Amino acid sequence: MLFSRVIAIGSMLAMNSYAVATHIPALFSRQNVNPGPVSGDTFIHDPTVVKTPGGSYIAAYTGDNIQLKQSSDRTNWRNVGAAFPNGASWTTPYTNGGKNLWAPDISYHNGQYYMYYSASSFGTSKSAIFLATSKQGLSGTWTNQGLVIESTASSGWNAIDGNLVVDQSGKWWLTFGSFWSGIKMISLDPKTGKRSGSTFLSLAARPSNGGAVEAPFITYKGGYYYLWVSFDKCCQGAASTYRIMVGRSTSVQGPYLDKSGKDMMQGGGTQIISSHGSVHGPGHNAVFTDSDADVLVYHYYRDDGVAQMGINLLRYTSGWPVIY
């Protein structure tokens, strides 16, 4: 998320709890399904969710010092504090002194949680992605492991919205990017979680439309790597035009093509969900595998402009994901 992220989130924090008691998903089109039922503390922005070895769920999201939630059933969520309750002073050179940290990505490997998170300020590419690790994944247990990659005003790309992917051969990669020249990928050292080598790949771009592509997330299913991204404008409340897109490749390094065969480097992408009804600007998604299905988690805005958690299950039809 880039433009107006801090302002939009700050204006919504006072309304960060919204309960949905019951909800039956209604099909608006092949793509636009209502979010599944969630309750409790459901305000969220740029979410990521990981299932713990014990079977519960941890969500992390954009907010002061990275905000955390927990759930025992994937439906009822409660706020459990900040990843860095004592602050994250190492990020302030990129945030103009602010506490608002963006777009965490949590996964579990080698007996611990890895969290890649971004420090920036809206409208600039002076940005950085950092790594923190934790054995528990809870507030106050995270140890900052340092800088992974940074960008400057002259880089031509933006080091935010990081996502760790481990490919089928066990190699680690970090994909990231927002606007400018699009989505990038670098190789990581599995021993440290930090950058390894000089590999710097381009995976997706929008040569037109103002370059509006960001929030990459890569998954693997049935012989294909899927590159999920968000198109268009975030962080405008109910006026947001964000939408979730996807392409696929047989190689983690791409090229990623949409369902019509268009390369995502040329603006391609198959739409998964967009604004409909009272669901405005759904985007910045993550995907995790649960016992019943792959699960898509994202944020969207209510009619009153408050950001909410969206959760839907995924099925695959002819090798393409469909939400339900």
214 assigned to active site: yes
Phi, psi of 8 (to 5 degrees): -65, -45
46 assigned to active site: yes
Domains of the chain: 5-323 (2.115.10.20)
pLDDT at 1: 55
Q: How far apart are CA 22 and CA 254, in angstroms?
A: 41
State pTM to two decimals: 0.92
Q: Which of the residues 41, 46, 105, 161 is marked catalytic?
A: 46
**pLDDT tens for each residue of the chain, 324 residues long:** 554 444 344 444 434 433 333 333 333 335 689 999 999 999 999 999 999 999 999 999 999 999 999 999 999 999 999 999 999 999 999 999 999 999 999 999 999 999 999 999 988 999 999 999 999 999 999 999 999 999 999 999 999 999 999 999 999 999 999 999 999 999 999 999 999 999 999 999 999 999 999 999 999 999 999 999 999 999 999 999 999 999 999 999 999 999 999 999 999 999 999 999 999 999 999 999 999 999 999 999 999 999 999 999 999 999 999 999
Q: How far apart are CA 47 and CA 311, in angstroms?
A: 10
DSSP string, 103-145: EEEEEEETTEEEEEEEE--TT---EEEEEEEESS-STT--EEE
Phi, psi of 11 (to 5 degrees): -75, -15
* Cβ atoms within 10 Å, residue 265: 20
Q: How far apart are CA 206 and CA 190, in angstroms?
A: 31
pLDDT at 30: 52
Pairing state of beta strands 127-134 and 112-119?
A: antiparallel
Q: Which of the residues 41, 105, 161, 214 is marked catalytic?
A: 214
- Report the amino acid identity of residue 3: F
Q: How far apart are CA 142 and CA 167, in angstroms?
A: 25
Alpha helices in 177-315 (DSSP H): none
Q: How far apart are CA 209 and CA 202, in angstroms?
A: 18
Q: How far apart are CA 117 and CA 130, in angstroms?
A: 5
Structure tokens at 129: 């992605």
HSE value, Cβ hemisphere, 13 Å, CA-based, for 1: 33
Q: CA triplet 17, 19, 23: central angle to 5 degrees?
A: 145
Which H or E run contains 7?
Answer: helix 5-12
DSSP 8-class letter at 55: S
